[in-house]
Chains A and B, each alone.
Chain A
Amino acid sequence: MSGAKIEELVVISGKGGTGKTSLTASFAVLAGNAVLADCDVDAADLHLLLRPVVLERHEFRSGNEAAIRTEECVGCGICREDCRFDAINVVRGANGRPKFTVDPLSCEGCGVCVRFCPVKAVSFPERVCGEWMVSETRCGPMVHARLGLAAENSGKLVAVVRREARRMAEETGGGLIITDGPPGIGCPVISSLTGASQALVVTEPTVSGGHDLERVLALTRHFSVPTAVCVNKWDINPGMTERIEEMAVRAGSRLVGRIRYDGTVTTAQLQELAVVETDAPSTEDIRRVWNNLGLLKDLPTKDEVGDPGHDDVDALVAKKPAEKKQGKKSL
């Protein structure tokens, strides 16, 4: 059991496009040597600023998908009747009789058609859903991933990325993990939050931002993750900024600052730099938010290390076959 102190900051937003990836990159620069985890596996952008050099690539395999062997299909249609996900299509076979095929984009890998096909014409191979990478950046090591098209298991891939990031942090004797989270409140976000030390919600002073903030704060409360909030582009609507901050405090989170609207943020992006690596005006706001987050300030005792234990992820990484051994030893 590792006694290393690890803190994980997960940066989320609820609503997309509030600037969380931009901010995460700046935090990576300010931290200096944190382990970085890009958990926006659906549309990962952090690498565009951090320019990682990929050291390892791994296939991400999760679940199975059904595939009907057409030549064996007798066209009974039982699969289509049973499928709850509208994943079975009918096509005209060579002799004019119907044949059935699986739409891989809709198949959820439940196995019902596989089990109940009367002629056992359905294969059920493991699904390769994407890949994950371990890389080196100018700000420290980075774990990131790319989910395959329409793939189902984004929550699972997020868990793999976080698990690897945690393993790397443990190996170096502890430290900070900064995680760029996905938008929304669904499975990939939940998977990025559980067991985190702290969540930072980056929001914007708009009615949409406020509405979505409420929902994402309800989520972090649900999973007991201490939460901080910062308002990005705050001067677009100062009145709304105040209302949002009041709501955030009422919802039990703490405020860590405001970042001004800054057109030069895009310039930094074009130069493949984090905002704090330029002389953009919002740099001082970002530094203030970072200081207010107060990461790695205290060293807790070993008992306080609540490791979340990413259960299933080891299997996706380890490849040893099952063994059973026996031994006799007296205490």
Chain B
Amino acid sequence: MILAVASGKGGTGKTTVSVNLAKVFGARVQLLDCDVEEPNCHLFIGGNPCSREVVSIQVPGVDESLCDGCGECGRFCQYHAVVSFGGAPLFFPELCHGCGGCQKVCPRGAIGEKERRIGIVETVEADKVTLIQGSLDVGVPMAPPLIRAVKSRMKHGVTSILDAPPGTSCPVISTLRCSDFVLLVTEPTPFGLHDLRLAVEMVKELGIPFGVVINRVGIGDERVYTFCGEKGIPVLLEIPDDRRIAETYSRGELVVDALPEYGSLFSTLLWNIREVRGKEKGAKRVRSKN
């Protein structure tokens, strides 16, 4: 199973849910930190670093001896990453999306590709958890290529938990694509509900089954519950608003370790996810039979 943990609003508890779920999983599990702009899972997981690789994307370069200054590359580029005005082209790699188009359109084959570093991917082994973390170099604007690199290191056949970045735009989509199930973590406040609606729209657009985790139950009001009820969205876990949880988190500790009374919380979540997925699969079988 590939389980992604996302939210609309930042700071609702995605990482808390991801790392604690990984800890209670009970068998080998992969934890992928796809929040490559601000990766935090490693702070809670500990363990031993195993590997560290630099990730690069392909950006164009020109062989000036072959270039005749025709300008076709500059005219093609949709991102103004290639500029040509009679001489050899100028490149702006920070604007480049790595589509390879300029290389393809060059009639002289003068454009080749070279690597441009965007960040690193590291693996850490912590007992039964393998953490695969991406870390975007500061100043690099685009996260999706690094997120794809993190996901490419995922082994199939082992359950994976993906900690997504906040929001609903391209880095989140890159993370969620091809997941089997999404957990949307929210809080029962106006900001939480507003951003949950956006996240629900996004997950529905992606066509992935999902459920909601409500964190900090006790603050705010009932509207998140009403919303989930109206839309038939399963609430798979409620985490109470307990200042001790905030303090545990602030120290970089796992809730399941520091507050044993919450031990069953995350195991229950796993159980609930399996239940809902089981029902989904059953419903799919029924639908395809009819």
Residues on A lying within 8 angstroms of B by beta carbon are: 13-18, 21, 42-43, 45, 48, 63-64, 82, 84-85, 105-106, 108-112, 115-116, 147, 149-152, 154-155, 182-188, 190, 204-209, 211-212, 215, 218-219, 222, 233, 236-237, 240, 261, 263, 266, 269-270, 272
B167 touches A185 (CB 8 A): no
Given contacts A15-B38, A45-B191, A82-B100, 7 further A-B contacts (CB under 8 A): A45-B9, A45-B190, A48-B190, A205-B250, A209-B250, A218-B138, A236-B250
Known: A16-B9, A45-B9, A237-B247. A183 touches B138 (CB 8 A): no
User: Is B116 on the interface with A (CB-CB < 8 A)?
Assistant: no
User: Is B136 on the interface with A (CB-CB < 8 A)?
Assistant: yes
Contacts of B173 in A (CB 8 A): 105-106, 150
B250 touches A204 (CB 8 A): yes
Contacts of B168 in A (CB 8 A): 42-43, 147, 149-150
Query: In the docked arrangement, what's the CA distance between A219 and B37, Å?
Result: 11
User: Pick the contact of B104 from A82, A150, A154, A269 — CB < 8 Å?
Assistant: A82
Contacts of A152 in B (CB 8 A): 169-170
Query: In the docked arrangement, what's the CA distance between A82 and B191, Å?
Result: 42
Count A/B pairs, Cβ under 8 Å.
177
A266 touches B220 (CB 8 A): yes
User: Pick the contact of A207 from B104, B139, B252 — CB < 8 Å?
Assistant: B252
User: Pick the contact of A186 from B141, B177, B251 — CB < 8 Å?
Assistant: B141
Query: In the docked arrangement, what's the CA distance between A147 and B194, Å?
Result: 14
Q: Give the nearest-CB partner of A237 in chain B.
A: B250
B142 touches A186 (CB 8 A): yes
Contacts of A85 in B (CB 8 A): 99
Query: In the docked arrangement, what's the CA distance between A211 and B37, Å?
Result: 11
A110 touches B78 (CB 8 A): yes
User: Pick the contact of A185 from B38, B78, B104, B206 — CB < 8 Å?
Assistant: B38
Residue from A183, A263, A270 whose CB has the most chain B CB atoms within 10 Å: A183
Query: In the docked arrangement, what's the CA distance between A106 and B104, Å?
Result: 21
Query: In the docked arrangement, what's the CA distance between A42 and B201, Å?
Result: 13
14 A-B pairs with CB atoms under 8 Å apart are: A17-B11, A48-B190, A82-B104, A85-B99, A110-B78, A112-B104, A115-B104, A182-B167, A185-B38, A187-B141, A187-B142, A190-B139, A206-B251, A270-B190
A105 touches B206 (CB 8 A): yes
A43 touches B101 (CB 8 A): no
B11 touches A18 (CB 8 A): yes
Tell me how many residues of B have a C-beta within 8 Å of chain A. Answer: 56
A183 touches B250 (CB 8 A): no
A155 touches B141 (CB 8 A): yes
CB of A23, distance to nearest CB on chain B (Å): 13
Contacts of A215 in B (CB 8 A): 37-38, 138
Chain A, interface SS category: loop
Query: In the docked arrangement, what's the CA distance between A48 and B104, Å?
Result: 48
Query: In the docked arrangement, what's the CA distance between A222 and B191, Å?
Result: 31
Query: For window 158-175 of chain B, which residues contact chain A by CB distance below 8 Å?
Result: 165-171, 173
Q: Give the nearest-CB partner of B201 in chain A.
A: A149
Known: A42-B169, A154-B170. A240 touches B250 (CB 8 A): yes
Query: For window 231-287 of chain B, which residues contact chain A by CB distance below 8 Å?
Result: 243, 246-247, 249-252
CB of B230, distance to nearest CB on chain A (Å): 20
Contacts of A188 in B (CB 8 A): 169
Mark contacts of B133-159 with chain A using CB atoms, 8 A cut-off: 1 yes-contact digit, 0 otherwise.
Answer: 000101111110000000000000000
Known: A182-B167, A186-B171. A222 touches B99 (CB 8 A): no
Query: In the docked arrangement, what's the CA distance between A240 and B43, Å?
Result: 14
Query: In the docked arrangement, what's the CA distance between A147 and B177, Å?
Result: 19
A183 touches B99 (CB 8 A): no
A106 touches B195 (CB 8 A): no
User: Is B219 on the interface with A (CB-CB < 8 A)?
Assistant: yes
B138 touches A219 (CB 8 A): yes
Query: In the docked arrangement, what's the CA distance between A84 and B100, Å?
Result: 8
Known: A17-B12, A45-B194. A222 touches B38 (CB 8 A): no
CB of B115, distance to nearest CB on chain A (Å): 14
A17 touches B101 (CB 8 A): no
Q: Give the nearest-CB partner of B178 in chain A.
A: A86
A208 touches B15 (CB 8 A): yes
CB of B274, distance to nearest CB on chain A (Å): 28
Q: Give the nearest-CB partner of A185 in chain B.
A: B37
Contacts of B190 in A (CB 8 A): 45, 48, 269-270, 272
Contacts of B40 in A (CB 8 A): 15, 207-208, 211-212
Query: For window 181-214 of chain B, which residues contact chain A by CB distance below 8 Å?
Result: 189-191, 194-195, 198, 201-202, 205-206
CB of A254, distance to nearest CB on chain B (Å): 20
Query: In the docked arrangement, what's the CA distance between A43 and B169, Å?
Result: 9
User: Pick the contact of B101 from A21, A111, A190 — CB < 8 Å?
Assistant: A111
Known: A15-B11, A186-B171. A222 touches B138 (CB 8 A): yes
Query: In the docked arrangement, what's the CA distance between A9 and B99, Å?
Result: 36
Contacts of B38 in A (CB 8 A): 14-15, 183-185, 208, 211-212, 215
CB of A69, distance to nearest CB on chain B (Å): 20
User: Is B47 on the interface with A (CB-CB < 8 A)?
Assistant: no
User: Is B10 on the interface with A (CB-CB < 8 A)?
Assistant: yes
